Amino acid sequence: QVFIPSYSTDFPCIQISRKGEKCAFCTVCRCDLNIAHAGRRDILLHLGTKKHKDSAQIVDTNEKLGGYFSASVDQGTIRAECLFTAFLIEHNVPFTAADHAGDLFRKMFPNSKEAVAYACARTKTAAIAKEMANQQVSSVVSCLQSGPFSVATDGSNDAGNDAKLYPIVVTFVDGIVRTALLAMPTLEGDSTGRNIGALVVDTLKANNVPVRNCVGMACDNAPVMI
């Protein structure tokens, strides 16, 4: 199935996705949907989810509250703050660098209204990064809920003590084959195959992802993980 214009007519919150013709974009949830399997039915299933209903309620509330605030929000400044936050994340730069960004930008671009209004130190940068992560995970989860995927994980001692971090990476089809980090839960106790498997299953269930959609798992070849 591929996206057709009538979907937007029948469902105003559904628009064409930048990820390809086999996807649709929900403007309420701000996420992409995989519609390759059943097209219109995939959209209806999404509209019936708790996630979409909760998001729609929040959007409705925000629209009502909008009248209490100024409409002169500088979208250019917001865009600049988000882009610089993404830059810090991509290049693994400490968020403390954001404390100096505003003053630097004002010296570099004294005639820019975005630079003058830029006000995004470490606290705001961390909040933006957290929301970016939420949006990314939401987009990934939406794909996992509607189609097959595989899981890969391996342990790390970075958590210290007896705890281990187990990044859970998923591979799925979203117009193209994608690989993304779903979560990085901590395993307390022994890293046995049973405990690792339970950690993966619990993470999927916590995100309302059907375990039956998981068609494969990759891991270290250590006997304890097999």
Residue 1 resides in a domain: no
Residue 114 resides in a domain: yes
Rounded Cα gap, residues 218 and 131, in angstroms: 29
**Last residue of one domain, picked from the residues 15, 48, 69:** 69
pTM: 0.59
Longest dimension (CA), the chain: 63
Please indicate, yes or no, whether residues 106 and 155 belong to a single structural domain of this protein.
Answer: no
Residue 139 resides in a domain: no
Please indicate, yes or no, whether residues 99 and 62 belong to a single structural domain of this protein.
Answer: no
Q: How many CA atoms within 13 Å lie on the side-chain side of 77? A: 16
Closest CA to 199 of 188, 212, 210, 214: 188
Tokens coding 47: 């509209």
Per-residue pLDDT tens over the stretch 93-141: 999 999 999 999 999 999 999 999 999 999 999 999 999 988 888 889 9
What range defines the domain where residue 61 resides?
6-69
Residue 224 resides in a domain: no
Please indicate, yes or no, whether residues 154 and 215 belong to a single structural domain of this protein.
Answer: yes
Q: How many structural domains is the chain composed of? A: 3
Please indicate, yes or no, whether residues 86 and 61 belong to a single structural domain of this protein.
Answer: no
Per-residue pLDDT tens over the stretch 39-49: 888 999 989 88
Residue 140 resides in a domain: no
